[in-house]
């Protein structure tokens, strides 16, 4: 057989189009075979992406080095370009870049298993993650011991794979594992993310012994309330959540949330029983009925409550612009940008807004206005300052704010601000 020829870009796109119409036509056996073949295809594609990602980063780095840029500039914005191409957040783009570099330069056996479809991307990611604290030489030893023979991990579950990688890491460099644990402890944090049905997940990253102790204490005290008849009809899980809230805030669940929240809703939703969803800043959409109840509960419980009018186009939901002569965004304009953009405006990045950025920079005589302003996370704002990046606002009277973002490779991506809540009958007219 002759040497395989790599497909060009047009061939890949044509094959993707053909794959969209694959069907088992009611044959269950064929369906299983197709699932197996497509799973292998996904792994091969992930391996190809990893090799190409490393090549892109290497090429950009070499070009910047040849141009005489300082070393600190060689990697700036590279992960963001990769993320945009993969339609994901810059954080995930950075993780994929690290994953690709580890596979290509330090874990050839893992890469080979991915290229042959014997290992999927998630399991390869676990191996990269569990060996991240090791030197390149020690990582290569783990790679060889676990992935030189496909039979070694055949049938081993994810937990078993993690356990084997951890055991080898401890055997090769226990000090590095301990240092990694100390670093992990220093990165303990509390985060929230939306959950279905207008709920939210509160996540706490902490040392395992603290987490076990916290859960055991909440469970013990919930059991005590149930045993003494003081549960108020609440289940054990409900009691544990309520106890966590009370001990974390110093207030009971019934007394209201003792911190400020920004709830954006239309006047029709608030005052006339409208059904347009509200927007809870930092969370997302919230059903109209729940939003009205939150407002009513805050008023009834004497929680400090204020109402501030925000004007938007009744048809598009575009927020009204504001002008300022300041070189930096004043507080009121920053707040308006926060309410308009909600999260970082880079496509596929939904990180919290940390910087209020001039889209057309002050060096280019960009004005300090809502139209020329955008909310960005810290990473995206710094990436945008790398050589070759461009950004400009696109004028669309009466429509939501739009930004055109250009990357050093000449690719362009557009970011439209989400519409604000507005009365349903106005949008439909």
Sorting pLDDT into bands at 50, 70 and 90, what band is 420? confident
What is the pLDDT of the chain when averaged over all its residues?
84
> Does residue 338 sit within a domain?
yes
Q: What value, to the nearest 5°, has the Cα angle with vertex 43 and ends 351 and 46?
A: 45
- Classify the C-alpha dihedral 307-311-315-316 as positive or negative: negative
Q: What pLDDT sits at residue 386?
A: 87
* Dist CA 285 CA 308 (whole Å): 19
> Does residue 423 sit within a domain?
no
Residues 173 and 247 in one domain: no
> Does residue 96 sit within a domain?
yes
Question: Other C-beta atoms within 10 Å of 270: how many?
Answer: 17
Closest CA to 281 of 307, 261, 265: 261
Structure tokens at 224: 């005590």
Closest CA to 48 of 109, 116, 107: 116
CB under 8 Å to 194, separation ≥6 — which residues?
Answer: 200, 201, 283, 284
Q: Indicate whether 333 pLDDT > 80.
A: yes
What do you get for the CA distance between the two ends of the chain, in Å?
A: 65
| Percentage with pLDDT > 90 across the chain | 50
Structure tokens at 357: 């950025």
> Does residue 394 sit within a domain?
yes
What number is the average pLDDT over the span 164-169? 91
> Does residue 222 sit within a domain?
yes
Q: What pLDDT sits at residue 429?
A: 46
Lookup result for tokens 């019934």: 254
Residues 72 and 210 in one domain: no
Please tell me the total count of domains within the chain: 4
Residues 370 and 335 in one domain: yes
Element (H, E) at 62: helix 28-66
* Dist CA 336 CA 347 (whole Å): 20
Could you tell me how far CA 393 lies from the centroid of its own chain? 24
Residues 56 and 175 in one domain: yes
What number is the average pLDDT over the span 125-151? 95
Residues 150 and 57 in one domain: yes
* Dist CA 8 CA 287 (whole Å): 48
Q: What pLDDT sits at residue 315?
A: 55
* Dist CA 46 CA 112 (whole Å): 11
- Kindly provide the b/e burial profile for residues 331-353, where b requires at least 16 CB atoms within 10 angstroms of the residue's own CB: eebbbbbbbbbbbbbbbbbebeb
> Does residue 400 sit within a domain?
yes
Residues 57 and 91 in one domain: yes
Collapse the DSSP code of 188 into the 3-class scheme (helix H, G, I; strand E, B; otherwise coil) and give the result: coil
- Classify the C-alpha dihedral 139-142-145-150 as positive or negative: negative
Residues 262 and 286 in one domain: yes
Structure tokens at 314: 């009744």
Q: Which domain holds residue 372?
A: 323-416
Q: Indicate whether 209 pLDDT > 70.
A: yes
CB under 8 Å to 130, separation ≥6 — which residues?
Answer: 162, 165, 166, 169
Residues 366 and 301 in one domain: no
| Lowest mean pLDDT segment, chosen from 69-73, 129-133, 331-335, 424-428 | 424-428
Residues 239 and 378 in one domain: no
What number is the average pLDDT over the span 74-89? 94
> Does residue 421 sit within a domain?
no
Q: What percentage of the chain's residues is helix, strand, coil (to nearest 5)? A: 50, 10, 35
Q: Indicate whether 323 pLDDT > 80.
A: no
Closest CA to 12 of 51, 41, 54: 41
* Dist CA 385 CA 326 (whole Å): 21
CB 50 within 8 A of CB 99: yes
For residue 75, CA distances in Å to 47, 277, 361 come to 22, 41, 22
Residues 133 and 208 in one domain: no
Residues 121 and 46 in one domain: yes
Residues 210 and 166 in one domain: no
> Does residue 271 sit within a domain?
yes
């Amino acid at each position: 057989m002759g040497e395989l020829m790599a497909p060009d870009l047009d061939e890949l796109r044509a094959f993707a189009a053909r794959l969209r119409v694959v069907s088992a036509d009611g044959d269950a056996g064929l369906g299983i075979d197709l699932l197996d073949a497509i799973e292998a295809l996904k792994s091969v594609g992930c391996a190809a992406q990893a090799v190409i990602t490393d090549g892109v980063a290497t090429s950009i780095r070499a070009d910047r080095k040849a141009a005489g840029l300082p070393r600190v500039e060689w990697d700036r914005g590279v992960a963001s370009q990769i993320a945009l191409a993969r339609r994901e957040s810059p954080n995930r783009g950075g993780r994929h870049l690290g994953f690709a570099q580890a596979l290509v330069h330090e874990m050839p056996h893992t890469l080979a298993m991915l290229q042959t479809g014997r290992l999927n991307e998630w399991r390869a990611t676990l191996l990269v993650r569990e060996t991240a604290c090791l030197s390149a030489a020690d990582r290569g030893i783990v790679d060889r011991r676990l992935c030189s023979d496909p039979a070694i991990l055949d049938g081993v579950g994810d937990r078993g794979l993690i356990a084997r990688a951890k055991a080898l890491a401890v055997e090769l460099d226990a000090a590095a594992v301990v240092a990694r644990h100390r670093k992990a402890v220093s990165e303990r944090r509390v985060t929230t993310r939306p959950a279905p049905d207008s709920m939210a997940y509160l996540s706490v990253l902490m040392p395992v012994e603290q987490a076990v102790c916290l859960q055991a204490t909440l469970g013990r005290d919930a059991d005590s309330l149930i045993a003494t008849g003081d549960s108020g009809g609440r289940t054990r899980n409900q009691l544990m959540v309520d106890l966590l809230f009370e001990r974390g805030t110093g207030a009971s669940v019934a007394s209201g949330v003792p911190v400020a929240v920004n709830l954006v809703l239309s006047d029709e939703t608030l005052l006339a029983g409208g059904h347009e969803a509200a927007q809870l800043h930092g969370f997302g959409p919230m059903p109209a009925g729940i939003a009205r109840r939150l407002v009513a509960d805050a008023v009834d419980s004497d929680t400090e409550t204020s109402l501030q009018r925000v004007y938007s186009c009744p048809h598009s939901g575009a927020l009204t612009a504001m002008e300022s002569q300041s070189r930096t965004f004043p507080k009121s304009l920053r707040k308006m940008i926060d309410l308009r953009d909600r999260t970082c405006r880079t496509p596929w990045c939904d990180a919290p807004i940390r910087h209020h950025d001039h889209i057309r920079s002050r060096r280019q005589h960009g004005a300090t206005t809502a139209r020329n302003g955008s909310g960005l996370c810290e990473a995206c704002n710094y990436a945008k300052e790398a050589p070759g990046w461009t950004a400009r606002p696109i004028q669309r009277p009466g429509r939501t704010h739009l930004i055109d973002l250009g990357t050093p490779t000449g690719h362009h991506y557009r970011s439209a601000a989400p519409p604000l809540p507005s009365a349903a009958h106005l949008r439909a007219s």
